[in-house]
Chains A and B, each alone.
Chain A
Amino acid sequence: MFFLDHIWLIPLFPAFGAAMMFFFGRKLQKAAVSAVCVGVVVLAFLWACGAVIQYNAWQVAPEHYHQPFQKILYTWLGSDTGHLTYTTHNGTQADFRADAGFLLDPLSAIWLLFVTGVGMLIHIYSIGYMGHEGGYYRFFGYLNLFMFSMLTLVLGNNYAVLFVGWEGVGLCSYLLIGFYFHRKSASDAANKAFIVNRIGDAGFLLGMFTLAWYFGSLRFTDINHLARSGQFQMGDPVLTAAALLLFVGACGKSAQLPLYVWLPDAMEGPTPVSALIHAATMVTAGVYMVARSNAIFVLAPNAMKTVAIVGALTAIFAASIGLVQNDIKRVLAYSTVSQLGYMFLALGVGAFAAGVFHVFTHSFFKALLFLGSGSVIHAMSGEQDMRNMGDLHRRTPITHWTMFIATLAIAGIFPFAGFFSKDEILWQAWSSESGAYRLLWLIGVVTAFMTAFYMFRLMFLTFHGKPRMSHEVEHHIHESPNSMTMPLVVLAVCSVFAGWLGVPHSLGGSNRFEKFLEPVFAKEAAPLFRAEEPSQLAAGKKEEEHTNPAEYALMALSLGLAVAGWGLAWKVYRNADKGYVEPMAAKVPPVYTAMLNKYYVDEAYDYVFTGRRKVGSVRLGAMGLGEASSWFDARIVDGTVNGAGWMTRAFSTLSMWWDKWIIDGLLVNGPAIVARMLSYPVKLIQWGLVQWYALIMVLGLLGFMAAEMGILVWFGWIAVGVLAAIVAYFVVRLIGRRAEKSRGASAAAGAAGAGD
């Protein structure tokens, strides 16, 4: 159990390589870089082989029969003290925990093997391909980091660890697509890949949260156990939502409609990157995740229908674009998108094993195609446009023959690998749910024809026909070095024989592949995780032991269409000379132009989602939102602020007026004015004459006396008369005094102040 117990070392080997490159890469020789980085991946592959072999032996023991092997190192997220409890959908308390755990079951074993295997071959190839490039250590460091992330993704035992790997491969994809960062197109493509991936990641995260909330745990074993326990109904809305959200993540990572736009642009990266990441491994992460969540998808038939429809549409859409592309890598990129569509079609109709089988075989022949195209580009001194190639088959024989084998495989010609896997998918699409998916089968069949056609078009334009390249390039054509051709040969061998692992019963095989995957994909929502006898397992399988004659008919049909595609391509492109004309361009120019321009999807995204270009005078999308926000801020928010300022000033003016005229004028000065006006008659009493004051006193005394005495006696009348005379005398005296004063003041100004 040594390899199995130390399964956690498998991702750490390439992580070590990446760390070495990070710290010491710049100072190392190229040979040292190659030795370290390729060596760790070889080590990882060997270790993976050991682990899978040991797992096979381990899982037949009755106490853990067909159970996945788990190894938990430590609790990464969550605590043992119960601080991260949360309430699930039915009110129970769940403890959030995501361990640094590793899980090995047949599904992850398959991925482990081909990721490390194909990765190893591509690392070896890169020694030759990147040998003359700058940034050698950086390239291998990033490749190793990618291997670490991908292996984390595949080996994780819960969604959180899977997501770590998911994000890691997205990051490495960005770093590697933008490897030639001096080129703007490359860095733009890297940004595009990461951003579109991120959109998918948002859906993935939401799906993950839904699952955590619904199941109370993120571990695959817990979720599968609960999902298969019969607690949940078919078509459960929360599960449908979670499945669809996870599928959004898969669309982003595995380039399905509408999030496929990054993959063709990702061809800006070096060819080994395209082979590893965008053909064999990263783009299959979405398929892995959906396959891993099959317990949830099985409970959500609407989600599965969506997966199947999106897969089928993507397949035919991308294939139609690939028919007319002129860049050799673009054709292969669209072919990848199309084949991924096939895989999702398989998963959607419920044929999980068939989808995984296609992933397995596709990784070999697609990696081979990309590496071969890299070899061609290497031979053509960097030329990638097929219009300028031709007649290479004699000059680069190994490349030619290996790519030919891969083309046969992808076209689905018997007995190469692609035939078995693609045929299985098409048969499942035809027969699942008693023919509900026949339309999707039709789409798949048409796509198969297109696939054969454009792949053989690629072969004929590149390797046959008349040479269309310039003379200097023609001089330099040479076969690639051994480090590059050896992986091509190995992959070609795999492309021939890998399909034989999954020969269906109808052709006399035992379909070992599907049987191997049985513990992972329980067809019904029946608890398959209790230890059961092998015979019971066989009974739980679909009862397709006797073959349907329709299967042979369909097999013949798809084979015939593949050969027809080959034949058509041979007829059209066999003798392609300089300035050859595409038949579609001649006959239906508008269709041709639309396909050549990828149906203007990128431009549509420019208008609608990014807002890089205006629609009329309005800018939509993210930049349009920015424009709208800035307009809002400048006009409305600032306008409000300015308005508030204006209002303050208006109010203050009003206050000033109120204060000046009403408060000061009316209320403060007013009483003063009134008092002054009222005092005019009153102050006449104060003449400054002392004797007048004394007179008033006497009058008062008399009045007092009269009141006491009650009646006025004759004495009083005399007194009144006398006093009236005195008053009259005073008035005369006062007037005289006033006149005298004014005369005195005007006449004698000299004696001022004292003086009479």
Chain B
Amino acid sequence: MVPITPIHYLILAAALFALGTIGVLTRRNVVVVLMSIELILNAVNLNLVAFSRLWGLNGQVFAIFVITDAAAEAAVGLGILIAFFRNRETVNVDEVDLLKW
């Protein structure tokens, strides 16, 4: 068995981050895009907590901030989604093109 080093945490967090990014950029459903954003944020949390074991509790405190922030942002994002859905009757991100040339 290989011992679990911080490298493993980094790689996991990076992978989750990448997946989240690809989801934000690629998926057509707005709800899925919001979920991908949460995935990104959680990957960052994982990173922070992993490094707090090495260098003090600052990381965990910051992780708590990020969770709070993520919750607020999810609320706002869902509010925007609902307002948009009420206007356009769609959750397709391709339809959000009012600022097109």
Per-position contact with B for A99-121: 1 when CB-CB < 8 Å, else 0?
A: 00000000000000000000000
Flag if A694 contacts B94 (CB, 8 Å): no
Flag if B89 contacts A688 (CB, 8 Å): no
Q: How far in angstroms is the closest Cβ of chain A from B3?
A: 23
Per-position contact with B for A720-739: 1 when CB-CB < 8 Å, else 0?
A: 00100010011001000100
**Chain B residue contacts of A698, Cβ below 8 A:** 21, 25
- A698-B21, A756-B90, A756-B92 known; A688 vs B98 contact (CB < 8 Å): yes
Flag if A737 contacts B21 (CB, 8 Å): no
Report Cα–Cα, A722/B20, bound state, in Å.
Answer: 13
Per-position contact with A for B62-101: 1 when CB-CB < 8 Å, else 0?
A: 0000000000000000000000000111101111111111
Among residues of A, the one whose C-beta sits closest to the C-beta of B18 is A722
Cβ-based interface call for B58 (8 A): no
Flag if B24 contacts A689 (CB, 8 Å): no
**Chain B residue contacts of A754, Cβ below 8 A:** 87-90
- A683-B101, A726-B26, A729-B26 known; A689 vs B93 contact (CB < 8 Å): yes
Per-position contact with B for A687-723: 1 when CB-CB < 8 Å, else 0?
A: 1111100110010000000000000000000010010
Report Cα–Cα, A349/B89, bound state, in Å.
Answer: 134
Q: How far in angstroms is the closest Cβ of chain B from A94?
A: 97
The listed residue with most A CB atoms (<10 A of its CB), out of B18, B94, B96, is B94
Flag if B101 contacts A686 (CB, 8 Å): yes
Q: How far in angstroms is the closest Cβ of chain B from A25?
A: 108
Cβ-based interface call for B22 (8 A): yes
Flag if B22 contacts A726 (CB, 8 Å): yes
Partner of A686, one of B26, B88, B99: B99
Q: How far in angstroms is the closest Cβ of chain A from B88?
A: 5
Partner of B26, one of A687, A691, A737: A691
**Chain B residue contacts of A690, Cβ below 8 A:** 93, 96
Flag if B96 contacts A688 (CB, 8 Å): yes
Cβ-based interface call for A134 (8 A): no
Flag if B25 contacts A689 (CB, 8 Å): no
For window 663-695 of chain A, which residues contact chain B by CB distance below 8 Å?
683-684, 686-691, 694-695
- A754-B90, A756-B92 known; A694 vs B25 contact (CB < 8 Å): yes
Flag if B25 contacts A691 (CB, 8 Å): yes
Give the total of B residues in contact with A, Cβ under 8 Å: 21
Report Cα–Cα, A687/B101, bound state, in Å.
Answer: 7
Report Cα–Cα, A46/B25, bound state, in Å.
Answer: 142
Flag if B97 contacts A688 (CB, 8 Å): yes
Q: How far in angstroms is the closest Cβ of chain A from B34?
A: 12
Flag if A755 contacts B90 (CB, 8 Å): yes
**Chain A residue contacts of B93, Cβ below 8 A:** 689-691
Report Cα–Cα, A686/B101, bound state, in Å.
Answer: 6
Flag if A726 contacts B25 (CB, 8 Å): yes
**Chain A residue contacts of B26, Cβ below 8 A:** 691, 726, 729
Report Cα–Cα, A688/B96, bound state, in Å.
Answer: 7
Q: How far in angstroms is the closest Cβ of chain B from A695?
A: 5
Report Cα–Cα, A730/B24, bound state, in Å.
Answer: 13
Report Cα–Cα, A688/B92, bound state, in Å.
Answer: 13
- A686-B101, A688-B97, A689-B94 known; A755 vs B25 contact (CB < 8 Å): no
Among residues of A, the one whose C-beta sits closest to the C-beta of B99 is A688
Q: How far in angstroms is the closest Cβ of chain A from B80?
A: 11
**Chain B residue contacts of A756, Cβ below 8 A:** 89-90, 92, 95
Report Cα–Cα, A688/B94, bound state, in Å.
Answer: 8
- A686-B101, A737-B94 known; A755 vs B89 contact (CB < 8 Å): yes
**Chain B residue contacts of A755, Cβ below 8 A:** 89-90
**Chain A residue contacts of B99, Cβ below 8 A:** 686, 688
Q: How far in angstroms is the closest Cβ of chain B from A724?
A: 12
Report Cα–Cα, A65/B3, bound state, in Å.
Answer: 164
Q: How far in angstroms is the closest Cβ of chain B from A395?
A: 131
Among residues of A, the one whose C-beta sits closest to the C-beta of B96 is A690
**Chain B residue contacts of A722, Cβ below 8 A:** 18, 22
Report Cα–Cα, A192/B99, bound state, in Å.
Answer: 100
Q: How far in angstroms is the closest Cβ of chain B from A586?
A: 121
**Chain B residue contacts of A726, Cβ below 8 A:** 22, 25-26
Flag if A686 contacts B100 (CB, 8 Å): yes
Q: How far in angstroms is the closest Cβ of chain A from B7?
A: 13
Q: Identify the A interface with B (CB < 8 A).
A: 683-684, 686-691, 694-695, 698, 719, 722, 726, 729-730, 733, 737, 754-756
Known A686-B101, A688-B97; further 15 A-B contacts with Cβ < 8 A? A688-B96, A689-B94, A690-B93, A691-B24, A691-B93, A694-B25, A695-B25, A722-B22, A754-B87, A754-B90, A755-B89, A755-B90, A756-B89, A756-B92, A756-B95
**A-B residue pairs in contact (CB < 8 Å), sample of 15:** A684-B101, A687-B97, A688-B96, A688-B100, A689-B93, A689-B96, A690-B96, A691-B25, A691-B33, A695-B25, A698-B25, A729-B26, A733-B94, A754-B87, A754-B90
Q: Identify the B interface with A (CB < 8 A).
A: 18, 21-22, 24-26, 33, 87-90, 92-101
